[in-house]
């Protein structure tokens, strides 16, 4: 299996967590988004969208972290990352998509660069934008987690897609100094996840490119 990623990419971080939880090995191909490695002809021939992550596994070659998670779940089900019941799977996918669809796309590198370079937004306003979308997303997520289905993790006592999406987002929130006092459940779950090797080993600072 080959994973194309970048140590600070939230979407690649999701896939690293899933691989670790499932005990799967991959050859990691590190691209520097800052150096523009993802815009080279060589990489665009692999992934025309020019994003990371991208996974190759035998005949399967796909981008989009959520598609990759679904693929891993389907083909390597021994350590499940979705609950066994329909209601649980719906809840986990909804929680995961609250981050993956409604928070992360507003705050990723190309959006921040566009705000600054094309729209002339200053650093303070850009940081306000960043905090705003995380705070909005986390408010809703914290409310959703006030549910008896929440346990040590977002859903029960097993890690799922929801935790896999949450952890990179909370990593970014902390990196960009977004206040988290109003989100005690999110923080509790994130701290618990980070105490586990599968999550800890996937942290950006624990990747070779960060050394
Ligand atoms: N929806 C995509 C988002 C992927 C994405 O935005 N990747 C970022 C890094 S987290 C990227 O490659 N950015 C390149 C750029 O902004 O130019 C996924 O979940 O895989």
Nearest CA to ligand 1 atom 5: 51
Its pTM stands at 0.97
Nearest CA to ligand 1 atom 17: 110
- H or E segment and range at residue 29: strand 27-30
175 burial via Cβ count (<10 Å: 0-12, 13-18, 19+):
exposed
Atom of ligand 1 nearest to the CA of 100: 19
Examine residue 53 and say whether the peptide bond preceding it is cis (omega within 30 degrees of 0): yes
Q: What is the DSSP letter of 210?
A: G
- What is the structure's pLDDT at 130? 95
- What is the structure's pLDDT at 205? 97
- What is the structure's pLDDT at 133? 97
Atom of ligand 1 nearest to the CA of 11: 10
CA 94 to ligand 1 center in whole angstroms: 20
Distances (CA, A) of 71 to 1, 63, 136, 155: 12, 11, 30, 20
Q: Give the β-pairing of 27-30 and 54-57.
A: unpaired
- What is the structure's pLDDT at 11? 98
Atom of ligand 1 nearest to the CA of 49: 12
Q: Which of 55, 108, 116 to mutate to test the pocket of ligand 1 (most atoms within 8 A of CB)?
A: 108
Tokens for 103, please give them: 């928070």
Q: Which residues of the chain, if any, have pLDDT below 70?
A: none
- What is the structure's pLDDT at 25? 97
């Amino acid at each position: 299996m080959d994973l194309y990623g970048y140590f600070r990419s939230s979407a690649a971080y999701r896939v690293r967590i899933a691989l670790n939880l499932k005990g799967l090995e991959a050859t990691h191909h590190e691209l520097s988004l800052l150096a523009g490695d993802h815009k080279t002809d060589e990489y665009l021939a692999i992934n025309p969208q020019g994003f990371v992550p991208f996974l190759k596994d035998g005949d399967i070659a796909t981008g989009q972290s959520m598609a990759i998670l679904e693929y891993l779940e389907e083909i390597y089900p021994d350590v499940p990352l979705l609950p066994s019941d329909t209601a649980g799977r719906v809840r986990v996918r909804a929680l995961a998509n609250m981050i993956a669809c409604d928070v992360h796309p507003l705050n990723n590198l190309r959006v921040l660069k566009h705000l600054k370079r094309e729209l002339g937004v200053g650093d303070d306003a850009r940081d306000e934008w960043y905090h705003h979308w995380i705070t909005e997303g986390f408010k809703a997520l914290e409310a959703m987690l006030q549910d008896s289905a929440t346990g040590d993790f977002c859903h029960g006592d097993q890690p799922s897609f929801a935790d896999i999406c949450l952890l990179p987002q909370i990593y970014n929130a902390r990196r960009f100094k977004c206040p988290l006092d109003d989100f005690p459940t999110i923080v509790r779950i994130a701290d618990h996840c980070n105490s586990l090797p599968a999550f800890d080993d996937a942290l950006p600072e624990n990747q070779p490119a960060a050394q």
